[in-house]
Amino acid sequence: MIPWLTIAIALPAVGAVLVWALPRVKAPDTVSETAASASAGGGTATAVRTKAPAATGGPASAENAKRITLGFSLATLAVLVAMALRFDTSDAGSLQFTEVHEWIPRFGIHYAVGVDGLALALVLMSAVLVPLVVLAAWREHDDREDGGRGYFALVLALEAMMIGVFAATDVFLFYVFFEAMLIPVYFMIGRYGRGNERSAAALKFLLYSLAGGLVMLVSVIGVAVYGGTFLWADLVGGGSALAALDPSTARWLFLGFFIAFAIKAPMWPVHTWLPQAAGASRPGTAVLLVGVLDKVGTYGMLRYCIELFPSAVSWFVWPVVGLSLVSIIYGAILAIGQSDMMRLVAYTSVSHFGFITLGIFALNQQGQAGAALYMVNHGFATGALFLLVGFLVARRGSALIEDFGGVQNTAPKLAGVFLVTGLAGLGLPGLAPFVSEFLVFLGAYAFSPVPAVVAVVGVVLAALYILWMYQRTMSGPAGEKVAGFKDLSAREAWAVGPLLALILAFGLYPQPLLDVINPAVERTVETAVDASEEGGEE
């Protein structure tokens, strides 16, 4: 049997090592002319030969780094697409392509991977976004000494960990990938970010994530102690040792996982790291941070909180629904008041993740299917929006909304794509996020009409922050600040075009995604409902 997932994890990891190990190519000598001091007999010009610092990576090294990164990311995508074509959609609720190997036998820890329909969708989403980020960031780091070589190595390292965290079926292995992702992201923000606050933003991201991870580690150890194993497949279901846990212990273990996932998601009030981190990030980093890494939080809620501790879920439902509603409204209101486009998009994601957690804890088929679909569609729509903001920042040298205006007059294609992507973010019918939002509303209303009605306010506010941003940046007469703007280049079109195509395709025909997501969601709903009924009987 071909170890598809191991190959998909190993490819970008090997690529990261190769990019990092590229030989430093000494920059060529440069010749400049300086006028010598004129003497009594007449002045002469002398050529002065200067050398670039020996420590810098030359242009060849930087270009090779980009090509290798793009090649390995495309190879990883090809492997995962080949794997997906062999995925049995009739059994999408079960783990497929599983591998289980002993890793640390003394503690019962395994290298165990596998994917059901939900994990497959998120793994493919991650693999699609990475090469597009590489294309978008092709010229982003040309002004650095290493030409961005270190950045592209970090992108590949992060891709390996993102695939690993969604594919892990050993709880300890999941925790390792969960924490290891922090390292490349920290350097992608702190070293390769933008602005004077990038170091502080990277540190805040790291501290918040480490705090959540340490809390989760206590629950991970608790799972092994009470469940007798780290293997997820042996921990779920009525026959597992965790099913016999007393309610108090189950609630504490649930809470340990939930706090870490709420920080990662992020939910109000532990969301404050995200706007600062996204605001200080390069657009490509923001795409992976918000488009993929934050999904680990909501994925973990479905996969670990609900399926491992279903007896504790009913006790937390209403508090989580309440936090979700606050996130929806609070994130949207703060997005309206932002002057920085990167921070604005980050706050919209706080609001969007409120919809996702609302759907998850509605505990019914429509809500959780909508939440799972929302994870994928949000990755594509918000990823495209961050890339487009990045294109604007590259042209103007600023992310401030007030520094733009009238872009549609000088770059109509860029403005048009920006509008479509923004409309996707506010849930316009015919675009992918609408289907997700609609299913979440159905699930929330079936759970209780009140949360569904409150959540509608978030949709109204979304129209305000998206359309107002578009009006202030794209419409009106073109001023001097944007007079020299170029329209979308071929490279930029290749970076954002596939995302736009996916947004349109899944908006008109979401069934292929739902076919692989629904069976996994049905299993989660059945687990939670059965536990709730057993608790009621007791």
Q: Per-residue DSSP letters for 259-327? A: HHHHHHTT-TTS-THHHHHHHHS-HHHHHHIIIIIHHHHHHHIIIIIIHH-HHHHHHHHHHHHHHHHHH
Question: DSSP E strands: which ranges in 51-153?
Answer: 96-104, 109-115
pLDDT, one tens digit per residue, over 187-211 is 999 888 887 888 898 999 899 999 9
pLDDT at 33 over 50: no
pLDDT at 503 over 60: yes
Please give the structure tokens belonging to residue 272.
Answer: 């404050």
Q: Which of 455, 298, 296, 444 is nearest to 363 (CA)?
A: 444
pLDDT for the residue 41 = 40
Average pLDDT over residues 324-335: 92
Higher pLDDT, 216 or 192: 216
3-state class (DSSP) for residue 104: strand
Average pLDDT over residues 236-260: 83
pLDDT at 482 over 80: no
DSSP state, residue 243:
G
Alpha-carbon gap, residue 116 to 2, rounded angstroms: 17
Is the N-terminal amide bond of 269 cis, ω within 30° of 0? yes
pLDDT for the residue 38 = 38
Average pLDDT over residues 461-488: 83
The residue ranges of every structural domain in the chain are 4-22+56-537
Buried b / exposed e along 378-409 (16+ C-beta atoms within 10 A): bbbbbbbbbbbbbbbbebbeebebebbbbbbb
pLDDT at 46 over 50: no
pLDDT for the residue 48 = 41
Alpha-carbon gap, residue 536 to 34, rounded angstroms: 88
The DSSP H or E segment spanning 533 is helix 511-537
pLDDT at 521 over 80: yes
Task: Give 319: exposed, middle or buried? Use CB within 10 Å, 0-12, 13-18, 19+.
Answer: exposed
pLDDT at 58 over 80: no
Please give the structure tokens belonging to residue 426.
Answer: 């506010």
pLDDT, one tens digit per residue, over 257-284 is 999 999 988 888 888 888 888 888 888 8
Mean pLDDT (the chain) is 85
pLDDT at 285 over 70: yes
Task: List the Cα angle 321/324/327 in 5-degree steps.
Answer: 155
Average pLDDT over residues 369-383: 91
Higher pLDDT, 61 or 455: 455
Average pLDDT over residues 134-148: 75
3-state class (DSSP) for residue 43: coil
Higher pLDDT, 314 or 126: 126
Alpha-carbon gap, residue 482 to 231, rounded angstroms: 56
**How much of the chain exceeds pLDDT 90, in percent?**
42
Alpha-carbon gap, residue 338 to 146, rounded angstroms: 33
Q: Which of 210, 206, 127 is nearest to 161 (CA)?
A: 127
Beta bridge partners of 340: 400
pLDDT, one tens digit per residue, over 293-326 is 888 999 999 889 888 888 888 888 899 999 999 9
pLDDT for the residue 505 = 93
Q: Which of 153, 142, 160 is nearest to 22 (CA)?
A: 153
Under 8 Å CB-to-CB from 533, ≥6 apart: which residues?
none
Q: Which of 309, 306, 311 is nearest to 359 (CA)?
A: 306
pLDDT at 65 over 90: no
pLDDT, one tens digit per residue, over 97-112 is 999 999 988 888 999 9
**Residue 27: band (very low, low, confident or very high) from pLDDT cuts 50, 70, 90:** very low
Write the DSSP string, 484-513.
Answer: T-----HHHHHHHHHHHHHHHHHHH--HHH
Least confident of 60-74, 93-107, 169-183, 435-449: 60-74
3-state class (DSSP) for residue 142: coil
**Residue 49: band (very low, low, confident or very high) from pLDDT cuts 50, 70, 90:** very low
pLDDT at 348 over 50: yes
Alpha-carbon gap, residue 133 to 191, rounded angstroms: 18
**Residue 59: band (very low, low, confident or very high) from pLDDT cuts 50, 70, 90:** low
**Residue 239: band (very low, low, confident or very high) from pLDDT cuts 50, 70, 90:** low
Under 8 Å CB-to-CB from 171, ≥6 apart: which residues?
220, 223, 224, 230, 231, 232, 235, 304
The DSSP H or E segment spanning 20 is helix 4-20
The pTM assigned to this predicted structure is: 0.87
Least confident of 25-29, 275-279, 478-482: 25-29
pLDDT for the residue 256 = 92
Alpha-carbon gap, residue 267 to 326, rounded angstroms: 9
Alpha-carbon gap, residue 238 to 260, rounded angstroms: 25
Is the N-terminal amide bond of 477 cis, ω within 30° of 0? no
Maximum alpha-carbon separation in the chain:
109
